[in-house]
A and B are shown apart, each in its own frame.
Chain A
Amino acid sequence: MTRPLDLSPQLAQSMALLARATAQGPDDIARARMRVQVQARLDAIDAEAPARRRSRVRVVALVAAAAALLLLATLVAKRPQPSLRAIALDASGATPALLPYLSAGPGGLSPGRLGKRQRRIVVSGTAVARAQIPGVGSVALVGPGELAIRRGAGAAIELSLSRGLLLAQVDPLAGERVRVIASRTRVEVIGTVFAVDARDGDRVHVAVTRGRVAVSRARVRVSLAAGHVLHGDESTPRSNGSSAVGRALAARLIRHVRSAPAIAPDSADAVTLVVRGQPSAALVSLADGGAALGSTPLAVRLARGRARLRVDAPGHSSVTLDVTLRRGQAAEIGFALERHPVVVDPPRATPRARPLRREHRSRRSPVRPPVPSMAPAPAPVKHSARPARPAAASPSRPATASLSRPATARELYRAAEAAMRRGQRATARSKLTELVQRFPHDQRATSARFEIARLSLAAGAPDRALGELRRMLRDASPTHVLLAPARLLVCRVHLERKRLTRAERCLTALLARHPRSLQADDALFVMLRLALRRRDCARAHTLAARYRQSFPRGRHIAALAAQLRRCAR
């Protein structure tokens, strides 16, 4: 219930006066005036009602059109890009010795294509997953790690690295902007080869072996050139070779580039090929280029046309498969590799190289496996494997069940690596020589020739080193990552043989061909020393200035001043 107000007499009197003053309504004139004006305004309202309705309809139509445009733009912006849908993933089966980051450990992913919603790669333990992003390049994730691939702001492809080591090779002509985000570090890249190491929490290391990337971290932007590494707690790039982390990352990147698979981009010309057979987890590679595609069972996108695949498995003979891929037809091919027979160690008197030569001859035998039939036949077609290694059995010795001799290029390379770790350079060289002779078209053959040259030079055989290097330079693809190191090795051979003029010409050519490579740093410094040796101080100063400009944080920047002091004297 509302209580009456207790007003003061003055206020009550004033309010009563107000009530009295406003008790009367308007006079007739005022009333008539108001009526006329109200009627006029109502007429105007009625007259403009259709126009208002029309304008309302127009506004609604405009809003609807704007909403439709916005929706369309959102759909276009959020439309999953074909390149992301067609990410090809392989997480198993590579040769661990040569491609350690491709080997699948426990918990490795099964090979296959990532689905529309499966753009997150998680690898556990020491497993390594490799993703081929058509039109962009390839990445390898070293476990334990987690990587999400998505289309980010500004239509850039964002690789969010939660943990692990990411090795990336981005095609400079891909036309896609690629960004890697790891913790608070952002790496902007257009065409390069680089690594992002997020295994150490917030301390993210970035290393580059080709091209240039921009690293943003805590409002600091650092441009990182080839041959440099940026450590997690530093803001100044250093040379790759100046730290253990940089060296390790650079080495891994070289391996990553070396093993980049030749998977076709996701275009209308690409055809899905399924490879399966016995034994499982066999390594499938392109017989021509030698690039590893993955392990069986394998689904891979290849360009249409004829393709020659090579299948290797430990303890089994290799096989070469010829397939013809037609547009719009998924193909499936099967194989069955023959297991190697039990071999008997050869007698001691047998020269070590002879079996290799015999093997080499046997490989050249005209016996070829039959060309496998193609899909749509679902049943795998069995092929008789090419006899890759003869049974060097001797009836004079008891047969011992052993697989002591490596059967595949991968095993040979692993054996060579093991020998090198033990310091047995001769054994390593012989294994690599065997690899080169038996598998001249394998992707490891190029690397093996380089290693043989290196070992030969160390053993004091520069002529043999030069021969291997020339063969390697002749056979390697123009983009092979070991070209620059091989050319530098050639220059070193000339230096060993005291052919200084030729060595300088060689170094000049190397600088012209690979100006931003890791070897350009060494080449420039060696040229400077050669100039000093000739007492050509003007040339030495010119080279020093060039070195400082090209490699301001190079490995020899400190030694440069000491060398130039000789000119001062």
Chain B
Amino acid sequence: MSALDLTLQQSLLDLVRRWALLASALSLPEPRRRAADTGGLDDAELVTRARGGDRDAFDQLFRRHIDEVYRRMARLVGGDPEREDLVQEVFVHAYRGLARFRGDAAFSTWLYTIVVRVAYGHLRRRRRRPLLEGQLLEQLEPVSNAASPEQRALEREQLLRLHQMLARIKPKKRIAFVMRVVEGLSLGEIADIVGATPAAVGQRIKHAQRELEAMLLRDVRRAPLSLSAARSTR
């Protein structure tokens, strides 16, 4: 058997494994109390049903919010191999805490507070055992598909540097800064989510910005030529 046959065989096996996983996900066991139809219900109704033990309703909530939760988690913790585990953790926390959800805010907002709490705990743990550069590089998202390979490599390097710099500032500052700059939330909204005063959140953002700017400056002084510049001069 040639090497090409082996590679092809492995690819096929991998494809089969993926399809099996997808099929098992689509054929989940019957929930204990199955609702007639949960597709057209809003979040509040689904929460009420899920609170009463309707696992279909919670599954519907999961389907609705998984993308947003994943995106927010990715922004807060960066390219971390435990990102998916953290997302699962968010939904498990939400399932356990459904009884405490009063419905004062939207379910997505409440879910976001759980995302922030889970991310904060993870970032604190991560500061004690930071990721290696290789691990981080493996987990980086593809930035754009249409760009040239050099452009993609440059963006990946820039993203890697940013994640490394974000990993060096304190989790509270990092979360507040990302929520403000990337999510575009106001100080009041951030304060509500993280459970702090707007002034404290403003200070965190200010300090985070100052530290990131200083790190960027040091980075530029240390390596004035970027990867693309180096390649172009080669």
Contacts and interface: CB of A to CB of B under 8 A. Distances in A.
Interface in A34-50: 34-39, 41-43, 45-46
B43 interface: no
A349 interface: no
Given A17-B155, A17-B159, A42 B55 contact: yes
B143 A34 contact: no
A39 B140 CA distance: 27
A7 B182 CA distance: 12
Given A11-B209, A18-B182, A45 B96 contact: yes
Interface stretch (B1-9, B64-72, B121-129): B64-72
A13 B25 CA distance: 38
B196 interface: no
A17 B158 contact: yes
B144 interface: yes
Nearest to B76: A22
Contact of A2 (B32, B59, B188): B188
Given A2-B186, A33-B84, A45-B96, A21 B140 contact: yes
A14 interface: yes
Contacts of A11: 209, 212-213, 216
A212 B188 CA distance: 76
A25 B213 contact: no
B131 interface: no
Interface string B174-190: 00001011100011100
Interface stretch (B34-42, B87-95, B100-108): B87-95
A21 B136 CA distance: 14
Interface centre among A2, A15, A25 (most CB of B within 10 A): A2
A41 B88 contact: yes
B32 A25 contact: no
A8 B213 contact: yes
A10 interface: yes
Contacts of A17: 143, 155, 158-159, 162
B4 to A, nearest CB: 25
A19 interface: yes
Contacts of A46: 32, 55
B22 A10 contact: no
A5 B179 CA distance: 12
Contacts of B212: 11
A538 B154 CA distance: 112
Contacts of A18: 75, 78, 159, 162, 178, 182
B182 A34 contact: no
A46 B98 CA distance: 13
B232 interface: no
A45 B180 contact: no
A21 B92 contact: no
B168 interface: no
A32 B88 CA distance: 12
A20 interface: yes
Contact of A5 (B18, B155, B205): B205
A278 to B, nearest CB: 81
A41 B94 CA distance: 12
A76 interface: no
A31 interface: yes
A26 interface: yes
Contacts of A13: 158
Interface in B9-65: 18, 21-22, 24-26, 28-29, 32, 55, 58-59, 62-63
A330 B116 CA distance: 78
Contact of A45 (B95, B143, B187): B95
Contacts of A25: 66-68, 70-71
A254 B101 CA distance: 80
Contacts of A559: none
B161 A14 contact: yes
A33 B142 CA distance: 20
Contact of A32 (B22, B87, B140): B22
A45 B141 CA distance: 32
Interface residues of A, number: 36
Contacts of B75: 18-19, 22
Contacts of A5: 180-181, 205, 209
Given A35-B62, A38-B88, A15 B182 contact: yes
Given A7-B209, A38-B62, A45-B95, A26 B70 contact: yes
A29 interface: yes
A30 interface: yes
A29 B21 contact: yes
A43 B182 CA distance: 35
B158 A14 contact: yes
B162 A15 contact: yes
A42 B180 contact: no
A24 B161 CA distance: 20
B182 A29 contact: no
Interface string B142-175: 1110000000000100110110000000000000
B74 interface: yes
B26 A32 contact: yes
Interface in A193-234: none
A17 to B, nearest CB: 6
B62 A8 contact: no
B162 A20 contact: no
B220 interface: yes
B91 to A, nearest CB: 5
Contacts of B67: 25-26, 31
Interface of B: 18, 21-22, 24-26, 28-29, 32, 55, 58-59, 62-63, 66-68, 70-71, 74-75, 78, 84, 87-88, 91-92, 95-96, 140-144, 155, 158-159, 161-162, 178, 180-182, 186-188, 205, 209, 212-213, 216, 220
11 contacts: A2-B180, A2-B186, A11-B213, A17-B143, A18-B159, A21-B140, A29-B18, A32-B21, A33-B25, A38-B91, A39-B59
Given A36-B24, A38-B62, 10 more contacts: A5-B209, A21-B141, A22-B71, A22-B182, A25-B66, A26-B84, A34-B84, A35-B25, A38-B91, A39-B59
